[in-house]
Amino acid sequence: GESVGLHLPTLSVQEGDNSIINCAYSNSASDYFIWYKQESGKGPQFIIDIRSNMDKRQGQRVTVLLNKTVKHLSLQIAATQPGDSAVYFCAESEGGYGGSQGNLIFGKGTKLSVKP
Amino acid sequence: DVKVTQSSRYLVKRTGEKVFLECVQDMDHENMFWYRQDPGLGLRLIYFSYDVKMKEKGDIPEGYSVSREKKERFSLILESASTNQTSMYLCASSSGQEPLYGYTFGSGTRLTVV
């Protein structure tokens, strides 16, 4: 079946460095992708999203890159801070909606640890 | 601030008890979802609903049921709790309309069945 996966289950970076979290997806029909951040004891929080008609989107200190050719998604965090320590999930949807036209399919997550 | 509220952060229940997990959203979203989250298994969809009084099975519905009598409220019911239902339960909602912002999640309910 279709799945969303991650290349690395854990990532440790030095404070101030840039972080890159990767995600592979297998459904070529997926056209909407989201990154979520989940801090310990909390629910996932939306970080940034991207549609398949884009290959890059930037937010505040975060950038999402989409490579449809190899079905790869990445989240880049600039100047990583201790508050960025969390589990990061990618999610994909077919149909362009996070709702009735296509439920989100979540990856298992990457744990980011930031060393002071 | 828009919100998805889960009624309990922590619950401890006995095997065989009937358990209700409540979720309320204040965003007028049509779609609501229940997930469970276990280490190494990620988020697994239990049930979802696209409208009042409507429900659809997700990937792991066995041992669960749901109720959506009002648009803002989506309840997850464990008919007879078992120890393998010990987990973190997450409720989410989405509008399914433009603009797209994916799902908004609640803070989760950590359920322990003893």
Q: Domains plus CATH for chain A?
A: 4-115 (2.60.40.10)
Own/partner pairs, B61-67, CB within 8 angstroms, 24+ separation: B64/B34, B66/B34
Residues of B whose CB is below 8 A from A42: 107-108
A65-108 per-position pLDDT tens digit: 999 999 999 999 999 999 999 999 999 987 644 444 467 888 88
Residues of B whose CB is below 8 A from A106: 42-43
Tell me the CATH number for domain B4-113.
Answer: 2.60.40.10
Query: Based on C-alpha coordinates, what's the Rg of chain A?
Result: 14
Domain boundaries defined on chain B: 4-113
Tell me if chain B has a CB within 8 Å of the CB of A114. Answer: no
HSE-CB of A55 using CA atoms within 13 angstroms: 5
Mean pLDDT (chain A, rounded): 86
Mean pLDDT (chain B, rounded): 92
Q: Which residue in B has a C-alpha nearest to residue A95's C-alpha?
A: B96
B30-45 per-position pLDDT tens digit: 899 999 998 878 899 9
